Each structure stands twice: as structure tokens, then as C-alpha cells.
């Protein structure tokens, strides 16, 4: 091969190699150049505006279920033995119903003795009356001396006094006889029984304790500030440990506060069929007037990191996350603070949004 031909071949190879290198660099550059981002799709959401509502002011409270009133049933006659028991704990009784009986033999014997004493006193009175009548008939005639006449008249008065005394003594024994039957002082439920068959009771010893009329109430505790706005007749809601909610009405607000706790009791009447038991613990709230609140649907509230947020839709359809304070819940709405009432807020889909996202409003 001629030298000129060799030079041409070598040059051609170099050109081909350089062209291949340039083509490879172009491909590498094309692969490493950043691609344009795809436009983010706008989320479809429903919106609404906060509304003003007149809601009752609710005072939170807690306390125990207690009896409306209790009645202690004691023995009035002492030294007598219990011979029968007709009621136990949990028994529902009526006013005047016999709960227990005491031995009556000795008392009945005393009644018969005083009945006999009364009969004797009345016989003596009859004789004294006859003598006094005769003395009054002959008075001034000289048939009887004035001293004798005065004696007959005095005997009449003494006999009458003896009859009165015997009647009083007999009445006392009859009362004692009636006291051998221990009866309920009111309608209610027996909550305690200390009477034991065969026990010899002392006068005044407690035998039964009665929950009057079976009525229970919620004894709620409030502080001094809350006590000032609680009114008799105010409506309440009482929530038991089981989750059951009971309606109630304030019967009485204590006029003083405890010197140890600085709190006062509010007594809330419950319905007779509430199904509660004395000693239960309950939470609840007491209504104390009305207040104006800004409310939004509960579905609009977004909870993140222990805080409450709402997403406000701006003029450019981009959402702004707003930190708010959530209050009471009522009618599937929640009271909020920290937002103006003219704002449009997202009611559904807020859990999938972030600050600055573009949204499409489906309806308002």
C-alpha cells in the first residue's frame, strides 16, 4: 500500500472514533438532563362556611349517686325481743307496712292491768258523784254539816282525777303496744337492716334504714365560679360509667362551699326509672344559659399531633392549614375558636391534604 493511501485510511478511522465518542456523550447528556415534573392533580373536596349557633353553656361536673333522703327506723319501746322480721335489704315497702314485730305479751298484760285500774277508778267516781249529788241537795238544810258536804265534793274531784290518771296510764300502755309493730314511715326501699331475730332491742336502737320513695339524685361538685351560674330547675345530662346518659334537673344548689375542698354540692334529681344505684360515680354537665359559638361539621376537624386543624380554601383554590381550638360537640357540629366566620373550609377529604395543596370544590 502506498504511503498516501495509508494516511487516508488512518484519518478515516480517527474520524469514525471521534464521531462515536461524540454520539455517546450526546446520549449520556440526554439521559442525565432532568425531566419536567408532571402537574399535580387537584383533589376534589366539599366545603362549607362556619355558622353561628346559640348553644347552652355547659358546666362539667362529677359526683356520686346518692339517696334523695334517708329515713332511720328505730325501736321506740325498749327491752323487748324481736319475734318476727318481714323486710330485708332491697325490699320495696309502703308507708305503714310492718317491717318487724316485738314481743307483746308483757305489754298486753300491762294494758289489761291499767284497764282494770281504769274500771275501778270509774266505779269510785260513780260513788263519789252520787255522794256529792246528795250533799248538794241537802246543802243549807242542816242535814249535813258544811265540813261533810265539802268532803263529799272533794272526794268527787279526787275520783275524777283518778279516772283521768288511769285513762292516761292506759293510753301510754296502748301506745307501747302499738310500738311493738315496727312500721315503715314512708314508701321506699330498705337499704340497711340491723334487726336480728331474737334480739332484745333498746329504745332508740336503729333497726332499718329506708331510701325514701326510692328516689335517687346526682350529687355533683362545682367550684365557686360555677356555683354562681347554676340555677334551680336547670337541665342536666348525667353519664354513668357504663356510658348510659340520663336526663336530670337541678333540685338544689348548696348555699355554702366546703372549707376543706372549696367546692359546693349541686343536687340533681333523676327519673324514678333511671336504673341507677346509690354509690355509683358519674360525670356530666349542667346547663347554665346560652352562648353564641362558631360551629363547623365534625368531619371538617383534622387531628394531627394532638392538635386540631381546619383547612381553609383560599381565592386561588389552594388550602391553608389553620390551627383552631375545639370546644363542645352538639348536633354533629363542633364549636371552634381561632377562625373567622367568612372562611370557606374543607368538610371532607381534609385528612389527605397538606398546606398549600390545590383543590377542586365539588359543592359548598
Q: How far apart are CA 318 and CA 315, in angstroms?
A: 7
Q: Residue 345's pLDDT is what?
A: 87
Name the grid cell of 63: 359526683
Fold for 71-210, please state it.
Answer: OB fold (Dihydrolipoamide Acetyltransferase, E2P) (2.40.50)
- Architecture (CATH level 2) of domain 60-68+214-288: Beta Barrel (2.40)
Q: Residue 126's pLDDT is what?
A: 94
Name the grid cell of 140: 243549807
Name the grid cell of 193: 337492716
Q: How far apart are CA 156 and CA 147, in angstroms?
A: 14
- For residue 159, give Cα distances in angstroms to 34, 145, 168: 133, 21, 14
pLDDT per residue as tens, the chain (364 positions): 555 454 444 545 444 544 554 555 445 444 545 554 444 556 888 888 888 888 888 889 999 999 999 999 999 999 999 999 999 999 999 999 999 999 999 999 999 999 999 999 999 999 999 988 888 888 877 778 888 888 988 999 999 999 999 999 999 999 999 999 999 999 999 999 999 999 999 999 999 999 999 899 999 999 988 888 899 999 999 999 888 899 999 999 998 898 888 899 999 999 887 888 888 999 999 988 888 888 889 888 888 888 899 888 887 888 888 888 888 888 889 998 887 766 788 888 777 888 888 888 776 6
* Ordered alpha helix ranges (H), 193-277: 224-227
Of 98, 115, 246, whose CA–CA distance to 173 is shortest? 115
Q: Residue 79's pLDDT is what?
A: 92
Q: Residue 37's pLDDT is what?
A: 46
Q: Residue 124's pLDDT is what?
A: 94
Q: What is the DSSP string of 1-26?
A: --HHHHHHHHHHHHHHHHHHHHHHHH
- Which neighbouring-strand residues pair with 153? none
Q: Residue 38's pLDDT is what?
A: 44
Pairing state between β 307-313 and 302-304: antiparallel
Q: Residue 98's pLDDT is what?
A: 96
Fold for 45-56+292-361, please state it.
Answer: 2.40.420
For residue 160, the 8-state DSSP code is: H
Global pTM reads 0.63
Q: What is the strand order of the sheet 70-74 is part of?
A: 70-74, 206-212, 188-193, 92-93
Of 325, 318, 320, whose CA–CA distance to 303 is shortest? 325
Give the number of residues written for the chain.
Answer: 364
Q: Residue 161's pLDDT is what?
A: 96
Amino acid at each position: 500500500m502506498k504511503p498516501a493511501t495509508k494516511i487516508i485510511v488512518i484519518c478515516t478511522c480517527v474520524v469514525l472514533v471521534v464521531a462515536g465518542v461524540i454520539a455517546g456523550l450526546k446520549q449520556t447528556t440526554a439521559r442525565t438532563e432532568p425531566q419536567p415534573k408532571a402537574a399535580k392533580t387537584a383533589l376534589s373536596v366539599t366545603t362549607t362556611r362556619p355558622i353561628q349557633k346559640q348553644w347552652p353553656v355547659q358546666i362539667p361536673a362529677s359526683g356520686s349517686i346518692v339517696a334523695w333522703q334517708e329515713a332511720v327506723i328505730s325501736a321506740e319501746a325498749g327491752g323487748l325481743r324481736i319475734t318476727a322480721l318481714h323486710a330485708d335489704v332491697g325490699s320495696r315497702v309502703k308507708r305503714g307496712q310492718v317491717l318487724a314485730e316485738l314481743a307483746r305479751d308483757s305489754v298486753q298484760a300491762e294494758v289489761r292491768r291499767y284497764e282494770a285500774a281504769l274500771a275501778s277508778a270509774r266505779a269510785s267516781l260513780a260513788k263519789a258523784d252520787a255522794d256529792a249529788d246528795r250533799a248538794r241537795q241537802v246543802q243549807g238544810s242542816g242535814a249535813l254539816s258544811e265540813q261533810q258536804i265539802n268532803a263529799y265534793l272533794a272526794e268527787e274531784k279526787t275520783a275524777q282525777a283518778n279516772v283521768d290518771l288511769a285513762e292516761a296510764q292506759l293510753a301510754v300502755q296502748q301506745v307501747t303496744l302499738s310500738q311493738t309493730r315496727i312500721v315503715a314511715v314512708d314508701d321506699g326501699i330498705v337499704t340497711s337492716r340491723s334487726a336480728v331475730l331474737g334480739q332484745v332491742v333498746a329504745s332508740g336502737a336503729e333497726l332499718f334504714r329506708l331510701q325514701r320513695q326510692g328516689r335517687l339524685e346526682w350529687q355533683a361538685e362545682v367550684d365557686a365560679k360555677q356555683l354562681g351560674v347554676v340555677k334551680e330547675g336547670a337541665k342536666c345530662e348525667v353519664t354513668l360509667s357504663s356510658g348510659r346518659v340520663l336526663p336530670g334537673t337541678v333540685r338544689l344548689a348548696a348555699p355554702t362551699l366546703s372549707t376543706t375542698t372549696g367546692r359546693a354540692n349541686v343536687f340533681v334529681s333523676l327519673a324514678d326509672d333511671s336504673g341507677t344505684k346509690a354509690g355509683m360515680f358519674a360525670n356530666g354537665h349542667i346547663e347554665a344559659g346560652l352562648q353564641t359559638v362558631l360551629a363547623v361539621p365534625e368531619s371538617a376537624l383534622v387531628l394531627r399531633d394532638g392538635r386540631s386543624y381546619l383547612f381553609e380554601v383560599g381565592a386561588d383554590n389552594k388550602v391553608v392549614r389553620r390551627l383552631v381550638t375545639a370546644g363542645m360537640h352538639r348536633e354533629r357540629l363542633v364549636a371552634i375558636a381561632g377562625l373567622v366566620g367568612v372562611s370557606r373550609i374543607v368538610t371532607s377529604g381534609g385528612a389527605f391534604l397538606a398546606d398549600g395543596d390545590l383543590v377542586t370544590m365539588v359543592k359548598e
